[in-house]
Structure 1
Amino acid sequence: MSVCFPKLSRVAVCGGTHGNELSGVYLVRELQRCAGDGAHVNTLLCDTFVFPSPSGPISDTAPYEMIRSRELNALLGPKGSPKAVDLICDLHNTTADMGLCLIAYSDHDWICLHIFRHLQRQMPDIPMRYIHFDVSNKESYSLDSVGKHGFAIEIGPQPHGVVRSNIYTAMKFGVQHMLDWVRFFNSGTIFEGGFVDVFTMVKHIDYPRDRETRNITAAIHPQLQDRDFSLLQPEDPLFQTFSGETLRYKGKEPLYPFFINECAYYEKSIALSLARKRRVMIPAIRVDRT
């Protein structure tokens, strides 16, 4: 028995939400240059660093980022309305060694999970994970949340302000396979059910800090650096202080670290995030022909 969904008639591929993450910027420009047929695909450069909640009044003197986010909500949404685009894919880079990740705010959006499984099968040589940010009943502050379905593609490692050919190419193939999946789905292909591993974010860990100055006093331990999604066990090395001392993970359960030493997260007081992994059963799906 398969679950039916409406046709994905309007798809948006977005880059530049964080303006210095360049793979998405150049990929959107390339997609605009080589626009093809198939599903109606909107490609746009977001040109904003934040995406606040679209609700509430806004003044003429509001920051540019807020004004731009309202423009994007009007263009792709409005969020939560029947007029919202069917699927949003928001393109990002990370300085962490995370491979290619799909990040979503749902662990039961069967469209997104099937797309992820399709990418896994089409790109077996690329490390790939599905990250679930569980916001429960809270507002999700992301561009992809404006669509009826949506996710971010996060790929690294790549320094911000730089474009690396291998990272760009992996993102390009990921987007191409995603658009292929949409065409297959819209044409009536039945996608069989199965299992997908989902990493649900549990918590963030900050760097050790000086109590008075709030300056960091340690860096990620060398044995942990560049080991995103390698299981972190209690008492494993976590930080190395600038005086040379090893600080160990004091959690009560093994968890999976990711966004290790992401440079954009220093200002957010996040040294790394930790997730639990579990297997999620996804049903067979097909387009609704009625």
Structure 2
Amino acid sequence: MCSKPVPREPLRRVAVTGGTHGNEMSGVCLARYWMQAPGELQRPSFSAMPLLANPAATAACRRYVGRDLNRTFTSAFLTAKAHPDDPYEVTRARELNQLLGPKASGQAFDFILDLHNTTANMGTCLIVDSTHNVFAMHLCRHLQLQSPELPCRVILYQLTGEESYSLNSVAKNGMALELGPQPQGVLRADLFTRMRALVAAALDFIQLFNQDAAFPAFEMEAYRTLGSVDFPRTEAGDLAGTVHPQLQDRDLEPLRPGAPIFQMFNGEDVLYKGASTVYPMFINEAAYYEKGIAFFQTEKLMFSVPALPALAPAPGPAP
């Protein structure tokens, strides 16, 4: 997994992106609103830039028009020579890389907060690349403490040895908010309000950091992706069953060996045959049918996050 250094200077260039998937309406509507009224994103030490990441997909109210934009920020796509037959999202990824990056460069934005919705019963999730991202871990902790009565889970998405591919990976640092359940193309007031509050709290944390606040070490619980499980299928590749009622809507709850995971169309149950308990997420996510994913398996981790020290004071003028 990657290891991102702790910022040693104030974060000045921050972006809040919505509509990376054009039918995830909380981020779409917030980005559109803030582009017209950006004052809500201003803080004394910086002003976050709102951005509609995938305008074509947003206009069509589709996840994407050519390929999944949030899987397109890899070196293979960003550095390849442009071709007239490139999918729209490949061209758009290169545009965003120039605007917010270039990726892995000193000129990249300091932080990107990317906004997403899921049709799965995920509640509020904070998606980060790995445990080594100390700044993001402290931001996650800050967000959790704002509403301790509401579950706010941390998801570690990056597999060992895997190149980061998401929009927020273009910046020096970043994370994604994932709120659900919300149907594709639908806006729910409760999730819209919750996402708006989370963005405000995230920007407040960056402001505190920029003001030389120090944050103590703590213990963090998170869920790390292990892999995915497909639906049962026929030899022709069609669905042969669906998510079992006992698993549906139980995202990030323990799934033990022998528990039912699918219900075949002939009425038979398919049981989980793993050797250990896992925590499934994105169960029956609408956007993942095309990807051959019924749910992801994760493991629950507890780990120590080191303190985030205050920024060193800027050197004064020479005597």
TM-score, L = length of structure 1 = 0.95
- Asked whether the 8 Å contact 1:31–1:43 carries over to 2, the reply is yes
Aligned to 2:143: 119
1:272 maps to 2:295: yes
Distance in 2, matches of 1:137 and 1:251, equals 24
Kept after mapping to 2: 8 A contact 1:7/1:288: no
More strand per residue: 1 or 2? 1
Contact conserved, 2:38 with 2:50, CA < 8 A, in 1?
Answer: no
Kindly provide the CA deviation profile for residues 61-114 of structure 1, in whole angstroms up to 9, marking residues without a partner as x. Answer: 322111111100000000000000011111010000001111122211111111
Residue in 1 aligned with 2:282? 259
Partners of 2:162 and 2:254 in 1: how far apart? 28
Deviates further, 156-165 or 52-61: 52-61
Q: 1:69 to 1:4 in 2, by over 3 A?
A: closer
- Name the residue aligned to 2:32: 29
3-12 or 261-270, which deviates more: 3-12
Structural mapping, 1:64-79, within 5 Å? 64-79=88-103
Q: Name the structure 1 match of 2:114.
A: 90
Shift of 1:125: 3.0
> What is the deviation of 1:4?
6.2
Pairwise CA RMSD:
1.4
Q: CA deviation at 1:116?
A: 0.6
Give, in angstroms, the shift of residue 287 of structure 1: 2.4
Q: CA deviation at 1:188?
A: 1.3
Q: 1:245 aligns with which of 265, 268, 274?
A: 268
Runs of 4+ in structure 1 over 3 Å off: none
Q: How far apart are the structure 1 equivalents of 2:312 and 2:258?
A: 51
Residue 5 of structure 1 deviates from its aligned partner by 2.8
- Distance in 1 of aligned mates of 2:98 and 2:240: 44
Unaligned runs of 5+ in 1: none
Q: Matched residue pairs, number?
A: 287
Residue ranges of structure 2 left out of the alignment (5+ in a row):
1-5, 58-63, 315-319
Equivalence for 2:16: 13
Residue identity over aligned pairs, in percent, reads 44
Greater Cα offset, 5-14 or 230-239: 5-14
CA distance in 2, matches of 1:263, 1:61: 28
Letter in 1 for 2:28: V
Q: Which residue of 1 is the match for residue 83 of structure 2?
A: 59
Contact conserved, 1:4 with 1:288, CA < 8 A, in 2?
Answer: no
| AA aligned opposite 1:245 | E
Q: Which residue is 2:183 aligned to?
A: 159
Indicate conservation of the 8 Å contact 1:92/1:154, yes or no: yes
Residues 97-138 of structure 1: CA deviation (Å, up to 9, x unaligned): 001111122211111111111111102232211111233333
Checking the alignment, whether the CA contact within 8 Å between 1:225 and 1:261 is kept in structure 2 is yes
Equivalent runs, 1:136-151 vs 2, <5 Å: 136-151=160-175
Aligned counterparts of 2:311 and 2:99: Cα–Cα separation in 1: 25
